[in-house]
Amino acid sequence: MSPVPDAASPTTPAAPPGRFSGPITAISVPALLQSVHLSRETGVLLLREGRVEKSAYVRAGEVLFARSNDPDDRLGELFLRRGVLSVRGLERCTAEVRQTGHRLGGLLLQSGLITPEDLIEGVREQVREIIHSMFLWTRGDYSFQMGPLPTDELITIKVNTTDLIRTGIQRINTWSRIREAIGGLDTRYRSVPEFDAARSEVILSREEERLLQFLAQPGSVGEACDTLHGNNFEICRTIWAFQVMGALEKVRQS
């Protein structure tokens, strides 16, 4: 098996020509990823703020891999949080990485501290965490570099990209962002019937199913909050997630 790359490697190779770019806004990152997903583009979505860079590798609209130069996104720190590595083990391996230039994953395998299965699952979890952390960005710049991916050393994460968008928005706890995304209490939405086929791999909670059923007929954000009697914050955040996923659409005011 080819060596498994550390998704938090600090170097993101240059991609071929063909790109679009702009400033990151409070609601842009989830919408950006969904746009790339729907258009079935292949390339690298790069976010940059100061010296921090995070990127999602996408093939035919599906997220395959992610990289970050944020130290908190490193594979070693992930294994430390999961209890797979001790602090001493992490410090020893990190020092060896600096001295030899080898990948941390390979060193952990060679030392017997993890199994190949641990490494694969660790990288998959690392990729999810990097993508989810990208959803929290509200400042900086983005660019999407279209074209063949710059490396073949990618591990496909077995997560539906639509569901990745949904769970990423579930990490956002800032009310001002949610309100900006969904509009005021009078903003009306309705379910998109075609979404049923599109979400074949998306497992919704009972509350999420109830929201989609309630909005089978056009209804406002306020009506959903009043009628469903759930946590209003969660209802509004779910409306945002469903809007980005394509499960809900805004209804124009007559």
Which of 159, 189, 213 is the last residue in one of the domains?
A: 159
Average confidence (pLDDT) over 92-115? 84
Within this chain, do residues 113 and 144 fall inside the same structural domain, yes or no? Answer: yes
Residue 81 lies in a domain: yes
Within this chain, do residues 136 and 213 fall inside the same structural domain, yes or no? Answer: no
Please tell me the predicted confidence (pLDDT) of residue 6. Answer: 52
Which of 136, 159, 182 is the last residue in one of the domains?
A: 159
Please tell me the predicted confidence (pLDDT) of residue 4. Answer: 43
Within this chain, do residues 178 and 140 fall inside the same structural domain, yes or no? Answer: no
Residue 114 lies in a domain: yes
Residue 164 lies in a domain: no
- Give me the percent of the chain exceeding a pLDDT of 90: 52
Please tell me the predicted confidence (pLDDT) of residue 9. Answer: 45
Q: How many residues does the chain have?
A: 254
7 pLDDT tier (thresholds 50, 70, 90): low
Within this chain, do residues 73 and 122 fall inside the same structural domain, yes or no? Answer: yes
Q: What is the residue range of 181's domain?
A: 173-251
- Give me the percent of the chain exceeding a pLDDT of 70: 87
Residue 166 lies in a domain: no
Q: Taking 80 as the threshold, does the pLDDT of residue 116 lie above it?
A: yes
Domain harbouring 219, CATH code: 1.10.10
206 pLDDT tier (thresholds 50, 70, 90): very high
Which of 97, 129, 159 is the last residue in one of the domains?
A: 159
Count of the separate structural domains present in the chain: 2
Average confidence (pLDDT) over 135-150? 92
Average confidence (pLDDT) over 58-76? 90
Q: Taking 90 as the threshold, does the pLDDT of residue 225 lie above it?
A: yes
Judge if pTM exceeds 0.75: yes
Please tell me the predicted confidence (pLDDT) of residue 8. Answer: 52
Within this chain, do residues 36 and 61 fall inside the same structural domain, yes or no? Answer: yes
